[in-house]
Amino acid sequence: MAATYDGWVTNQTGGETDVSAETAVDGVAGKLERIIAAQLRHYRTAQGLSAAELATRTGMSKAMISKIESASTSCSLTTLQRLADGLKIPVTALFRGADTDRDATFTKNGEGSLTVRSGTQHGHEYRVLGTLKGRTDALEPTLVTLTNASDVFPLFQHPGTEFIYMLSGKMIYGHGAYEYTMEPGDSLLLDGEGPHGPLELLELPIRFLAISAK
pLDDT of 57 above 80: yes
Q: Is the pTM of this model over 0.75?
A: no
What gap in Å lies between CA 90 and CA 30, rounded to an integer?
22
Q: Where in the chain is the domain with CATH 2.60.120.10?
A: 113-213
pLDDT of 100 above 70: no
Question: What architecture is the 3-95 domain classified under in CATH?
Answer: Orthogonal Bundle (1.10)
- Identity (one letter) of the amino acid at 214? K
List, for residues 113-139, the tens digit of each pLDDT value: 776 555 445 567 888 888 777 777 778
Handedness of CA 120, 127, 145, 179 (dihedral sign): positive
Q: Where in the chain is the domain with CATH 1.10.260.40?
A: 3-95
Per-state percent for the chain, helix, strand, coil, to nearest 5? 25, 35, 40
Q: What superfamily does domain 113-213 belong to in CATH? A: Jelly Rolls (2.60.120.10)
Residue 17: strand pairing partners: 9
The helix or strand, by DSSP H or E, that contains position 170, with its residue range, turns out to be strand 161-175
Most confident range (mean pLDDT) of 18-22, 83-87, 136-140 is 83-87
